[in-house]
Amino acid sequence: MKKFLHQFIFSFYLLVSVFVFSQSEKYSWQFSIGFNAIDTYPTAAVGQGALFEEFVNYDHWNIAPYPSQIAFTNYLGSGFSYGLRLSQNSITKYGNRTVDSDLFVDLDALVKYDLGVLFKINRFAPFLETGGGYAFFGDISAGYFNLGFGIEYALGKEKKTVLFVESLFRNTGETYGTKHFQHSAGIAFRFGTIKDRDFDGIDDIEDLCPDIPGLEATKGCPDSDGDGIQDNEDSCPNTFGLEKFNGCPDTYEDEIPDHEDACPYIVGLPDLNGCPDSDGDGVIDSLDECPDLAGKSSNKGCPEPTDEIIKKLNDLATTIYFETDSSKLSSSSKFKIDKLFVFLEKYPNYKVIIEGHTDHTGMAEYNMQLSIDRARATMDYLVSKGISRSRISVKGYGETSPIESNSTAKGRLKNRRVEFKLTKN
């Protein structure tokens, strides 16, 4: 039960540290006093536990029962502080081993970064720490490199008094040094006023953004993109822009700022929301299925053929004939199919279905394949002229759909044909 309680407290401590941030930059100095505990077990050292193994098991901790740590830190600005810390303890436990009491003394130089500055949230202030120092473990002494994480909680309206907890991992490159964790808890007091707390060279009384380093030209406020408009008044603070567009860019100078421009990286027209219209038909290129041909918006920007043109093509389709047992196109047939090619080229949003037919000479199964071959021959001719194969489909009907009687030569000639049907995309 006791171990579960320790783990719960530690998990809660981490959860608060991740989700609640703060920082008070009003004071230049902080003095702290507190307790410390030394733990050599979860350090991955030879003979000890794996890193963070039983991290919250205080049976391994050497806890000083009296105020045993003092520190001074000075605020540099932008969340950074530096300072010195002196710790003292009595070591009776090396992991699972009990030893005769050894004196522990340590002096550290440290740099802290307050994560609360990053998120601009008050009162709670988790922080990261790095630095180094020199420590004595009984008869052993060594230099150490430190990495730590902690959280401060400021009390009262002025936040001059602070409660803190921290865990620090201390390692050394020297073979005789003792890796260890140092856990601390205590109280701190803030004092000293910062006249230029963001250290941008502009006194707080004249600084419009006293907590953020800025420029003299923008009265102490930052101008991240250097366009002469301070970030808190710049609609596009991270992109160089124009004053007339409130700090936003107009990359291709079409008089529409990029963030309002539907086509910001192409020169366009103001009345089309900054998008181009290459054929001038009022339909923007990205929505125009025929961007190089002026058409109608009702037809997705493509030209619309008249009913007369459609009728002439349909009439033409019934006069494309083939020899008996042949799928070869004659010269006269190619001439007629060329008219279909011209139509498809002029009206690119139209597709064509080519239907092949035969007379009743021969077996029905053979005639079905022959009708498909005739339709494909017509398709191949159109493709060779430059029409995309994706705009053409073929069907074969064999001898099943005659338009004349198969009892006469003239009737059979008209039945050996291809027809086509036009469809819109």
**For the ranges 89-98, 177-186, 216-225, which has the lowest average pLDDT?**
216-225
So what's the pLDDT on residue 1?
37
Secondary structure, 3-state, 125-138? EEEEEEEEEEEEEC
pTM of the model: 0.45
Domain with CATH 3.30.1330.60 in the chain: 307-424
Domain with CATH 2.40.160.20 in the chain: 2-193
Q: What is residue 187's three-state secondary structure?
A: strand
User: Options 1.10.275.30, 3.20.20.140, 2.40.160.20, 3.40.30.10; which CATH number does 2-193 get?
Assistant: 2.40.160.20
- Distance of alpha carbon 283 from alpha carbon 293, whole angstroms: 11
Residues 366-414 pLDDT 10s: 999 999 999 999 999 999 999 999 999 999 999 999 999 999 989 988 8
Average pLDDT, integer, range 299-304 = 78
Burial classification of residue 30, based on how many CB atoms lie within 10 Å of its CB (0-12 exposed, 13-18 middle, 19 or more buried): buried
Give the confidence band of 31 by pLDDT, cuts at 50, 70, 90. very high
- Distance of alpha carbon 29 from alpha carbon 216, whole angstroms: 26
The two structure tokens encoding residue 168: 């620090």
Question: What type of residue is 406?
Answer: N
- Distance of alpha carbon 376 from alpha carbon 356, whole angstroms: 8
So what's the pLDDT on residue 39?
95
More confident residue, 346 or 240: 346
More confident residue, 305 or 266: 305
Superfamily of domain 307-424: OmpA-like domain (3.30.1330.60)
Average pLDDT, integer, range 293-308 = 78
Mean pLDDT across the chain: 82
